[in-house]
Structure 1
Amino acid sequence: MKKVGLLGGTFNPPHIGHLIIANEVRHALGLDEVRLMPASIPPHKSNPSDATPEQRLRMVELAVEGTEGLTVSSFEVDRGGVSFTFETMKQLKEHEPDKEFFFLIGGDMIDMLPKWYKIEELLQLVKFVGVGRPGTIGKTTFPVTMVHIPEIKLSSTLIRQRVQAEGTIRFLVPGKVETFIRMEGLYGN
């Protein structure tokens, strides 16, 4: 059975930290691939994005281009609407019953699992992988495989702020993503 990791998120924009997480988990768990899956409308974000779902999807495609084992899923963007993990996993398992799915979450999100939509049913569809550095990972009674990664103090918010302030984002995002942001005039540049 093929082992597939899923890294969901807003990716507004995708940055080097996302790629490091995906790559570290892929190698630590021996996954065949890790799919980065932008949310159409994330349930936990209240502000509208500066980038459309299609623009965020394109940036993720540019970010992973040519990187072995990292792929992109347009599943949630194509479906549209609010992206709840349970609904996504239910549909993915129906479309790909021959795959074993691993859902990557930040270590700080582990404490929140009891509040996730249909968490008990979700645990039947996917294995959770918590990523973070020692000391930043929450506690849970749910089955979560932990993968420690190098500390990366980088966020999409920081990148958007730098673009707005006409600062540099070089090496924080892949070069093709930086070019796309500039060409599309994203984040007030």
Structure 2
Amino acid sequence: MEKKEKVIGIMGGTFDPIHNGHLLTAECAAYQYDLDEVIFVPSANPPHKVEKNITDAEDRYTMALLATMSNPKFRVSRMEMERKGLSYTIDTVREFKKLYPTAKIYFITGSDAILEIFTWKEPEELLKQAEFIAATRPGYCLSQLGQKLYDDYRDAIHPLEIPGLAISSTDIRQRIIEGRPIKYQLPETVEMYIKKHNLYR
């Protein structure tokens, strides 16, 4: 029997911190698109957040490891952390295509990020190199890409509806600053790591 091609999901992001919304998105994508594995790729130097204060990449990588270790389909890559310069998605996708030349590659992200894809580096080439799974959050619609663009790239962008996907890293950081609870919004291992290392205070 002929072996089917490997299907890989790449989930990029700052993961500052990684939370249950990220994990739920990855799990739903793995199920709906029959992914063999989902590789989380923490951004080292995201170009859209150059001016923002981002937690050290090693801390974000460790939190991603802690969050994903119980799922055999999940793993975490240091690819962008080990590459010099800004973390561009097109470069990451190209590297994964070299590592897995026969695999089908999906890039998993939020629909809010997809709406900004034409501000990314080499967006048209990116949409040729990988297909995108866009997790829908409240208030976002893929048709906002513009009808022509949406029609042109409809085959490369796949919506993924996530029930109750309203958790955000920004809100979690703000809750920690204000001393409000974050329990059940992210894995307990990540919550304990944040407390132990006094992050976001």
Query: Judging changes above 3 Å, is the alpha-carbon distance between structure 1 residues 134 and 174 closer, same or farther for their aligned structure 2 residues?
Result: closer
Query: How far 1:63 sits from its partner (Å)?
Result: 0.4
The normalised TM-score by structure 1 is 0.92
Matched, 1:8 2:27: no
Structure-to-structure mapping, 1:38-53, within 5 angstroms:
38-45=42-49, 46-49=51-54, 51-53=55-57
Structure-to-structure mapping, 1:5-154, within 5 angstroms:
5-45=9-49, 46-49=51-54, 51-132=55-136, 136-139=140-143, 140=150, 141-142=152-153, 143-154=156-167
Query: Judging changes above 3 Å, is the alpha-carbon distance between structure 1 residues 116 and 159 closer, same or farther for their aligned structure 2 residues?
Result: same
SS of 1:68 mapped into structure 2:
coil
Q: 2:118 and 2:170 mapped to 1: Cα distance?
A: 26
Query: Larger deviation: 127-136 or 148-157?
Result: 127-136
The normalised TM-score by structure 2 is 0.87
SS of 2:176 mapped into structure 1:
helix
Letter aligned with residue 153 of structure 1? A
CA deviation vs aligned residue, 1:83-124 (integer Å, no higher than 9, x gap): 111111112212221322100121223332233211222223
Query: How far 1:185 sits from its partner (Å)?
Result: 1.1
Identity %: 35
Q: 1:134 and 1:30 mapped to 2: Cα distance?
A: 25
**Number of residue equivalences:** 187
Q: 2:34 and 2:98 mapped to 1: Cα distance?
A: 24
SS of 2:160 mapped into structure 1:
strand
Alpha-carbon RMSD across the aligned residues, in angstroms, is 1.6
Q: 1:80 and 1:171 mapped to 2: Cα distance?
A: 35
SS of 1:102 mapped into structure 2:
strand
Contact 1:131 1:137 in 2 (8 A): no
**Any gaps of 5 or more consecutive residues in structure 2?**
144-149
Query: How far 1:74 sits from its partner (Å)?
Result: 1.3
Runs of 4+ aligned residues of structure 1 deviating over 3 Å after TM superposition are none
Q: 1:47 and 1:135 mapped to 2: Cα distance?
A: 24
Contact 2:137 2:166 in 1 (8 A): no
Query: How far 1:72 sits from its partner (Å)?
Result: 1.1
SS of 1:114 mapped into structure 2:
helix
Letter aligned with residue 84 of structure 1? Y
Q: 1:180 and 1:166 mapped to 2: Cα distance?
A: 16
Q: 1:7 and 1:19 mapped to 2: Cα distance?
A: 10
Query: How far 1:135 sits from its partner (Å)?
Result: 6.2
CA deviation vs aligned residue, 1:107-156 (integer Å, no higher than 9, x gap): 22333223321122222321111111586222223121121111221111
Query: Judging changes above 3 Å, is the alpha-carbon distance between structure 1 residues 147 and 80 closer, same or farther for their aligned structure 2 residues?
Result: same
